[in-house]
């Protein structure tokens, strides 16, 4: 199964690759800069203590792997049938 991991949102400027942002805006037909401009008057709220605890301490960055990555050795005979195939 691998190590447990959580998905998180970006919490500050400059964390998202601008190329990915431009691609997303193009695909979804949105303008992130216009949205930021519309929201500039919203007051920033203080972050609750401990809410971003992941920003301190050791951080593990997962890497994408082709196929089954380090866990695959080609031998799948010991795997059981999936729940979907039992239906």
Per-residue pLDDT of 25-62, as tens digits, reads 999 999 999 999 999 999 989 988 888 777 777 767 77
> Is the pLDDT reported for residue 69 higher than 60?
no
Cβ-based neighbour number of residue 32 at 10 Å = 14
| Average pLDDT of span 60-65 | 71
What pLDDT does residue 63 have?
73
**87 by DSSP, 3-state: which?**
coil
Structural Rg of the chain based on CA atoms: 20
**What are the helix (H) ranges across the chain?**
18-28, 32-39, 83-86
What CA–CA distance (Å, rounded) separates 10 from 56?
15
How does DSSP classify residue 60? -
Provide the whole-model pTM. Answer: 0.48
Count how many residues are written for the chain. Answer: 87
């Amino acid at each position: 199964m691998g190590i447990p991991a959580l998905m998180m949102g970006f919490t500050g400027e400059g964390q998202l690759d601008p190329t990915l942002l431009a691609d997303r805006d193009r695909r979804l037909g949105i303008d992130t800069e216009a949205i930021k401009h519309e929201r500039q008057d919203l007051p920033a709220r203080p972050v609750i203590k401990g809410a971003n605890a992941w920003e301190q301490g050791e951080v593990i960055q997962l890497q994408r792997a082709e196929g089954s990555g380090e866990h695959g050795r080609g031998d799948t005979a010991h795997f059981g049938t999936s729940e979907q195939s039992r239906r």
